[in-house]
């Protein structure tokens, strides 16, 4: 977020920054074309501003099965294995990153309640088998 703010202040209105999350200072060009990003499970994402973050257990794994990883459910102390990945588009990279991690450990119904009333945020998940999960 701060890098994008700095770039914008320096006159870079069409930049995409990737520091673990993707954040755009604005559209790809003056005509308003979106940045095209390839998300999990081959989903194409259009970003004209704001940020996208993905949380996935596959990011840091501790065993060969991939089921022991860095995303821990604080209620159980065990690795969260409900989803293959959760992706969030939000106004800022900090918010997108925080929500993608939080939603990763939540069941779909509480996740939808958390997102209710936030038209500025989009979220989607993939199951462990790669299928789409509605959030």
* Residues in CB range of 73: below 8 A, 6 or more apart: 79, 80, 105
**What is the CATH architecture of 2-133?**
Roll (3.10)
Question: Confidence class of residue 88 from pLDDT cuts 50, 70 and 90?
Answer: very high
At residue 20 the predicted structure's pLDDT band, cuts being 50, 70 and 90, is confident
Q: What is the pTM of this model?
A: 0.89
Residue extents of the structural domains in the chain:
2-133
15 Cβ neighbours under 8 A, 6+ residues apart: 4, 7, 8, 24, 25, 26
Interatomic CA distance for residues 48 and 130, integer angstroms = 26
Q: CA 75, 95, 28 angle in degrees (round to 5)?
A: 145
pLDDT tier at 119, thresholds 50, 70, 90: very high
Q: What is the pLDDT of residues 35-77, one digit of tens each?
A: 999 888 788 889 888 999 999 988 888 988 888 889 999 999 9
To which residue do tokens 């309640």 refer? 113
């Amino acid at each position: 977020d701060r890098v994008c703010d700095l770039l914008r202040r320096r006159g870079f209105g069409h930049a995409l920054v990737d520091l673990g999350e993707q954040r755009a200072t604005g559209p790809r060009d003056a005509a308003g074309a979106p940045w095209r990003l390839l998300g999990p499970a081959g989903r194409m994402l259009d970003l004209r501003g704001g940020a996208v973050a993905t949380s996935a257990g596959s990011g840091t794994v501790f065993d060969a099965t991939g089921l022991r990883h860095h995303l821990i459910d604080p209620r159980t102390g065990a690795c969260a294995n409900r989803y293959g990945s959760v992706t969030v588009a939000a106004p800022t990279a900090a918010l997108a990153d925080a929500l993608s991690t939080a939603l990763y450990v939540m069941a779909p119904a509480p996740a939808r309640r958390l997102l209710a009333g936030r038209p500025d945020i989009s979220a989607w998940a993939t199951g462990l088998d790669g299928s789409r999960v509605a959030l």
